[in-house]
Amino acid sequence: MSRRALLSVPQVVGWLIVPLYVAGTCVYYLLIYGAGLWNEGTVVENVTGVMLGVGFGAFAVVGALLVVRRPTNAIGWILSAIGLMVSTIFGAGSGYATYVMATRGQPDALAVFGAWAANCLWFVMLALALIYLPMLFPDGRLLSRRWLSVAVLGGIGTLGFVLPGALVDTIPVNEVPGRGIANPIGIEGLGKIEDLPIFGAVEGLFLVAAVGAVASVVVRFRRSRGVERQQMKWFAYVIVVLIGGSVLTGGIADVTGVGWLEKSSYVLSLTGLMCLPIAVGIAILRYRLYEIDLIINRTLVYGPLTATLALMYFGGVATAQLVFRALTSQQQQPQLAIVASTLVIAALFNPLRRRIQSFIDRRFYRRKYDARKTLEAFSSRLRNETNLQALNGELTRVVRETMQPEHVSLWLRPQAAPQPSANKKLTG
C-alpha cells in the first residue's frame, strides 16, 4: 500500500499543476486591477501580458501532462516548475506586494515574502529554462558524467545571482517605482547585483554554463539515432527557427531601425515561448513524432520563398514608383506600383516555389531526391521496354539504389500449366 501511495503522488501533483497556475495568474490580474495599475499600461502592453500568461501556461499544461504520463522524466518537473514559478512567485506573490505597496504604503509579512521571493528566484527559472532543460532533454539524464561539471557551473552561477538578491538591503517593487521594501534579512548597504564587483564573474559562469548546455544539445543530436533523432529535431527546430529567428530579427531591427522588424521579433519570441513546451511534449510522448521532417522541409522552402518575394515586392514597388513618376501623375504612382508588384509576385509564386523546393531536395534531402529521380527514370523505361530479362535487371538496380538493401533477389512465379479438364473441353 505504501508503494502504491508513493506511485500515486505524481498523479496527484500533475493534476494540481494547471489549477494552481490558473489560480495564481487570476490572483495576479485581480491584484493589479485592484491596485489601479491595469489601466496605466497601453493596450499593447496589456495584450502582451496576456500572451505571456498563455505562453507560460503551455509550460504548466505540458509539464503536468508529462508528470502524469512520465513521472520519472525530469523534463516534466522542470516545465511544471517554470510554469508554477511564473504564476505563483512572480505572479501572485509579486502582485500581492505591488497591491499592498500601492494601496497601503506599508508592507505586511506576506508582501515582504512575496517581493523577496520574486526578487531572488528569477535566475532559478532562467537556469531551469536555459541550462537544465536543454541538457536533460529528452530522457531527463545527462549525456555522461563529464557534463556534470557544466551543470555544477550553472548551479554556482545561479547561486551567485540568487544570494545577493536574497540579501539585498531594499527589495524593489517594479510596478510601484520609488517604493522599496526593507529586507528583514538584508545586509545594510548591499545594492543590486549589477553594482557588485563579483557581477562579471557570476555572469561569466552563467554564460559558460549556457554555452555548455547548447554544446550538449549539439553533441546529443550528432550521437542520436532513430526515435531520439526525431525528438532532438523537434527541440532543435523550435530553438533554431523561432527563438533564433527572433534574436536575428531583433538584431536586424536594432541596426536598421525598422519598426515592423522589431514587432516581428517580439511575435517570434512569444511564438517560441508557446511552441517550446509543446515541441518538448510531442517529442517525449512521441505523438506524431515523424511529422517534424515535413515541417522542416516546408520551413526550408517557404522561409526563403517569403523573404525572396518580400524583397521583390518592396523592390518592385520602389522601381515602379520611379517609372510611373516619369509617366503618370503623382496621385497614381502608389496604386499602380502596388498593383504591378502584386501581379508580378502572383505570377512568380509557383515557379519560385518549385525551384526552391528542387534546390532544397537536392541540397538537404539528396537520398530522397535521388530515389525519386531513379523511380521516374524507371517508370519511363518501363513504358518502352519489352524485354523481360532487361526489366529484371533494371528493377534489381532500382531497388538497390533507392532502398539500399543488403541483398536483392527477384523471384518470378512460373506460368501455370494448363489443366487436363480444360484441354478436354477445348478439344471436344
The Cα–Cα gap between 147 and 137 comes to 13
32-74 per-position pLDDT tens digit = 888 887 765 566 666 677 778 888 999 999 999 999 988 889 9
pLDDT of residue 84: 93
| Span 248-261, pLDDT tens digits | 777 776 776 666 66
| Burial of residue 172 (number of CB atoms within 10 Å: 0-12, 13-18, 19+) | middle
**What pTM does this model have?**
0.75
DSSP code string of 2-43: HHHHHHHHHHHHHHHHHHHHHHHHHHHHHHHHHTT-GGGS-H
The Cβ of residue 49 has, within 10 Å, a number of other Cβ atoms equal to 15
In terms of average pLDDT, the best of 50-59, 239-248, 259-268, 377-386 is: 50-59
**Mean pLDDT computed over every residue of the chain:** 80
**β-bridge mates for residue 171, sequence order:** 181
Compute φ and ψ for 170, nearest 5 degrees: -125, 125
Q: Is pLDDT above 50 for 422?
A: no
> Which residues touch 188 (CB under 8 Å, ≥6 apart)?
169
Decide if pLDDT at 342 tops 90: no
Does residue 377 surpass a pLDDT of 60?
yes
Q: How confident is the model at residue 76 (pLDDT cuts 50, 70, 90)?
A: very high
Q: At what angle do helices 244-256 and 259-285 cross, to 10 degrees?
A: 170
Give the pLDDT confidence score for residue 270 in this predicted structure: 76
Q: Where are the domains of the chain?
A: 9-223, 228-287, 305-364
Angle subtended by helix axes 366-384 and 388-403, to nearest 10: 170
Q: What is the pLDDT, as a whole number, of residue 225?
A: 85
Would you say 163 and 102 are in contact if contact means Cβ atoms under 8 Å apart? no
DSSP one-letter string for 69-104: H-TT-HHHHHHHHHHHIIIIIIIIIHHHHHHHHHHT
